[in-house]
Structure 1
Amino acid sequence: MFFGVIKEQLSDDRVQFCQIKLRKTEAVTLKMSYPSAPGQDSKNSVFVNTGDKVVGSIPLLKIRDTSKKATTPAFDIVDECLYHFRTNIFMRDFKIKSDADRLLIYLTFYAMKCLKLIAKNKNDKAKCAKEIQGWNLNPFPVPGDAGFILASLITTEVKPQEKAELLGYFKQLRIETGNRLLDIVFANGTEADKWWICFAPRKFMDKEMAN
C-alpha cells in the first residue's frame, strides 16, 4: 500500500513536470512566433523577439519571396513598411525600441526613393519597374559601409565575413519592396494611384536615399 501511494505520487509529479515543461515550450514558441498583422504604433515594428539572426544591428527577418509565389511568412516587414508608409513619411524622428525598427526606417527610405522613380513614369508600370531594377543594379551600401543611410543608428560592428550575407539580404529586401510597391500603386490599372504619387516630392526625415 505504501509503495502504491509513492508510485501514484511519482506519477502525478511526472505529469506536473511535463505540464510545466509544456507551458514553458508554449511560451517560447509564442515569444518566437511571427506577427500576422501590423501594430497600431507605426513608428515601431512588431517584429520583436523573432529569434532571427542579427548582423550589424539589423535582424535578418524572414521575407516572403513573391517571385516564387511563396505564402510564408504571410505578413513580413516589407508589408509592415508599406502599410505604415504614408503615415511614417511625415515623421521626423524615431525612437529605436528594437533592431527591427532600423529595418523599418531603412525600408521607408527605400520605398520613398522607389516612389520618386514611379512618379516620373506614372502612366507606365513596366517602365517604372525597369527604372527601379536599373537603379538597383548600382552598388549600394549596407551596414558597415561608408554612405549607409542609417550609419548613425548602427551600434554593432559588422565583420568582413558578414558583408556578403548582409548584401544578399538587403538585395532581397529592395527587390520585394519595389515590386510590392509597384503592385500597390498600380492596383487600379495602368495609371499610378494619385493618392500615392502625391507623396513623391516629399523627403523622409529630411533625407533622401542616394543609392
Structure 2
Amino acid sequence: MPGYHSKLTNASRKIGNVAFLTFKTKVRGPVTTMSPEDLVDNELDIIDEALFNFKANVFFKQFEIQSDSDRVLIYLTLFITECLKKLQKCTSKDQALQEVYSLAVSKFDIPGDVSFPLNTVYAKPSTLDEANQMRAYFNQLRQETGQRLVERVFDKETNKPSKWWICFAKRKFMDISLSGRGQ
C-alpha cells in the first residue's frame, strides 16, 4: 500500500528539488501568509496535509516521491516525529510551545549538509543564497508546524497531551530521524 502523497502542486518556485509552497502562518519568514483568495473551500496547506496524513504515513518504511511537494511532506513528517519526542516529556501546553519553538529554531541541517539524512533524495541548493533561503523556509515551516502540532496534541480542557498522538513518538518514518544517532 502506498503512502499518502501531497496533493499540492501550486509551488511558486523551488529550491533544488524542494517545492517552495505557500502556507498559512503568523511566523516571520520567506513565506507570507496565504491570502483568503488563495484558500479555496478551506483547502489544506502543506502543514495541514502533513499533520493530517502523519499517523498513516509514519508507518511506511519506503515512500515513493511523486512530486517536489512530497519532499516537503517527508521533511515535515520527520520533524513532527522529533516534536513528539519532545512533547512526550511536557506536562503543559505552555511548556510544549517552548519546547517545540526551541527545537524549531535550533541548528538543523539542510540538503547538501554532510549530516542531512536524506541527501540521496534532496538536491543540494546551487548557491549560498539558495541555501540561506532554504534554511529560512525550513525554519518557518518548523516553527509553524510545531505550533499547530501542540494545538492538536494538547487538550484544551485538561491541558494534557493526547496519548493518541504521543504514542507515535517512538515511530521512525522511513527508518530515518532528523536528529543524530542516539538523540
TM-score, scaled relative to structure 2: 0.83
Letter in 2 for 1:65: T
> What are the residue-to-residue correspondences of 1:158-173 with 2, within 5 Å?
158-173=126-141
Check conservation: 1:117, 1:132, Cα contact below 8 A.
yes
The alignment status of 1:202 with 2:171, answered yes or no, reads yes
Structure exhibiting the larger radius of gyration computed from Cα positions: 1
CA RMSD of the aligned region, Å? 2.0
Q: Name the counterpart of 1:149.
A: 117
Q: Name the counterpart of 1:63.
A: 23
| CA deviation string 1:158-206 (max 9, x = no partner) | 3222111111111110001100000001144301111111111222222
Structure 1, unpaired ranges of 5+: 1-40
> What are the residue-to-residue correspondences of 1:1-211 with 2, within 5 Å?
42-48=3-9, 50-66=10-26, 72=35, 73=39, 74=42, 75-121=44-90, 123-155=91-123, 157-189=125-157, 190-210=159-179
Check conservation: 1:144, 1:158, Cα contact below 8 A.
no
Change (3 A) 1:210 1:156: closer
Check conservation: 1:143, 1:158, Cα contact below 8 A.
no
* Greater relative CO (CA pairs within 8 A, separation 6+): 2
Q: CA deviation at 1:112?
A: 0.5
**C-alpha distance in structure 2 between counterparts of 1:57 and 1:105, whole Å:** 13
**C-alpha distance in structure 1 between counterparts of 2:161 and 2:114, whole Å:** 34
Q: CA deviation at 1:157?
A: 4.7
Check conservation: 1:106, 1:149, Cα contact below 8 A.
no
Looking at secondary structure, tell me which structure has more helix per residue.
1
Letter in 2 for 1:47: L
> Percent of aligned pairs with the same residue?
35
Check conservation: 1:57, 1:154, Cα contact below 8 A.
yes
TM-score, scaled relative to structure 1: 0.73
**C-alpha distance in structure 2 between counterparts of 1:182 and 1:66, whole Å:** 15
Q: Report the count of equivalent residues.
A: 168
**C-alpha distance in structure 2 between counterparts of 1:71 and 1:63, whole Å:** 6
| CA deviation string 1:62-106 (max 9, x = no partner) | 0211459x6644521000000000000001111111101111001
Change (3 A) 1:117 1:156: closer
Change (3 A) 1:203 1:148: same
Check conservation: 2:23, 2:34, Cα contact below 8 A.
no
Check conservation: 1:56, 1:144, Cα contact below 8 A.
no
Change (3 A) 1:174 1:51: closer
**C-alpha distance in structure 2 between counterparts of 1:43 and 1:134, whole Å:** 29
Structure 2, unpaired ranges of 5+: none
